[in-house]
Structure 1
């Protein structure tokens, strides 16, 4: 049985193209199918969500408008002074007054509306006035003052109240279900005189909900403030009502035993009722089959075209392409000493081979040029940084001599001049070579001797040096910029003794140098900014220029030894600052 490798090598280029290009065609087509389905589903979902939200909002607006008309009927007693006068009375009422109120109620209810069942006024002493479109049978034994609607109206203190489905016994022969509009009757801030209650059937609500169309698998439901069903357009999905999150005013996805629903609800500001819209998710899934068929058809056509194009290609270019691929692999691994030799004829592959040879030669030349330029740039940057260091410490030392001359301290001038001469000789002689760490310590002792003379012995210096490390080699002018930073920036606001500690200790395979002072220190934000400035993560400092010397030293160390070495700043405001310097351990015997 031939191996897979032998099988592949013995196949014609036509079959190889088919086997190679088929995944390239199928993967984008599958991706396109999935992406199109996802986009289409999202668009349908958003459209359906918006339709549900807009429909529920529109229904709520129509419902508020309809109930507002009923609200205006409940203010009937306020427009008739005779009714108010009779409501303020107690005890038996005369026939004329009784007929007057009955007539006014009958006139109010017998308008062209079909949704009003009856209107009743319950006076506070129990007197009842009623008018109805049918032969009403009033239950005069009904304790209306204990009823929920009466208590709710009294608590609302004159504001209109809407109840859910009426299920009390105040009307014995109620012909059809109804809801009620209730309002307590009072004059300004006076006592409540009674209650007017209007019973309304559901023909008005049906006229609002009947034109609403969310799809064949949908429902619109009205719930009262106790989450009880007042009206439902149909009987679908009633079992999902307990699963609705009343506190969530966004679109909700609710699963039932047979379907998944898109649900949105809104609370009526006037009534406290909740209008709930429900739509089955199956409404969104229609039309996807057409999209899938279209995509599959297009995919089949593209696959067919690719196969035909692959068959038309010649297998004579297989070997040259394989040779070029092998040579490119060697170049990718860094071997530029390769060339394509099959350059006979004018075939396109031969032209590609010539272009490959020229490109390979040019890349090799460019790499050598870049390496040479980077080496020269590194050398120039190092020399430039060294030159920037010299004027910095020389200026500070000359300032110290000038200060001593002003106070007439000749002995101090001799000492500081001697120390300065040693420093300058060291700087001039050592700037282009490596130096022993011992020489750097001696150099910084000279510098600190000058500073101690200037400060009148208020500067205290402590050394903690590992003597074995002092024979190691390092770059010149390593410590002076750090110590200068302590003197000129760390102690500028310090009164009393000024302390500097210099420690040289080993760590792993390197040397750890610490310069610590008891100066002002830095805030956490300034410390973070300075460390970022040293790491080239910040272009400049916002709190001053004290980091320039440290930045130059950090750059010199990294140019010489690499990014694993350099400076780290540790400081706490009011507690001083510590500069940590990491350099490799280079023994004296390795020096050239």
Structure 2
């Protein structure tokens, strides 16, 4: 199979990736080759110029340092206190010598505190006095030779500054003073020689001046005097104090500033150097050419990096295209997961006209149908529960009984039977209240009024057998409660507790606010219930609710509380055989009847 046929048989994502890679790699490859060749030469020249500029700046810094040292020696030369001390006789007292030593040392140390230089200062008097800042006095300064080395140069300078390089081999990492500056101290008044002022400059003080200059890996930097001796070097210090023995030294000593290529120790190096006009010091930097060309290698590496990056970007573009095509399907899958978790309010954004868009619209239609069916089922459940509440309330009595009781009331009044009239009137009010339609919750004030109607009937029937005590907190009368909430409790207390008791009984009805809730207590001292009977109470009540009996039991009361308040209520029953029964109901404080959910 030919390459063309293989290309045609590839998938769309693979074709796009190959085309993007070819379009990216070819122009970038050609551009990279041209850029690498052009930049290699330009970068090397630029690097030479930068190194040369750095060396010039270092040389300027060294020149400033030399001038500072010379100004320091000039200050010592002209200091009147030092002039006086060096003019004193060597036979003066020990106290005077000690005082002079403190004075000179104070002057010398003040300079070291002012400048962070790694130097040592020496004042050597011809009168035998020696003052210095270091820990010890070198033998060459204790017993100096006027016609040797630095001392000879200072005498020749006649009071001007003189410089001397320490030409000696140093041990590894122990270089001491590598450069010294001296000045002959003369009496300003008589011109008589008083001594010498010597400044020993350590290698670290000089190295600090050029350490900040840009250095390349494998490169070497040398600070040379006018004769080619190494005053300081980096990174190796082994040649400090010796004459630099390199093949390129003759050209460096002849010239003042520039750069050229040379072979040193078998490798090609670029030699960059700069000379100081005032001090004659030379800064020399030997850099391997291969290190300098690494700057151009970075261009090559950058080109390769760009090509690889473009390949990766092309791959990412192809990936993003496929991701864009499959994103609607992933979105639809996530929505289905949300529906499985119970969220039925999600919607697929149908902005596509392809097959995925049609699938999404079908999903939305299906979800709307499901929501409609759920809503219909929910509404039916509400209707059933409301009908059940109404049926429970309607269990109390049919409407025609109220009309009959009203007739009995008027007949009793006509015949002067007040007791019968009072019972008929109370019972009629109860029946009328129970069959009245409207809001299932009423003010506690109205509900307690119906309780009193019922208790009127109870008192007329049982007379002195039952003592009734009502303790109602007036603060709760304007709160709301489900209609006929306490009626079944009072009926049970009378009919199942006090009526079967021998002798008198007591019925207590209490209502008040407890823990921001309304609490009702119906308590009697009737026959009570045993523990087994109390444990089976709810089962018994459920069986009673399923029968056709007219008694409104505790089961119906509990069911009404659940329908109105869910779990935000309490219904507790306490009973003991022979001692009585106590029923406690606690419901929320309801100020507005709309606060009560008819079905929770």
Please give the range of the TM-score, normalised by the shorter of the 2 chains. Answer: 0.3 to 0.5
Q: Which has the larger radius of gyration?
A: 2
| TM-score, with structure 2 as normaliser | 0.39
| TM-score, with structure 1 as normaliser | 0.39
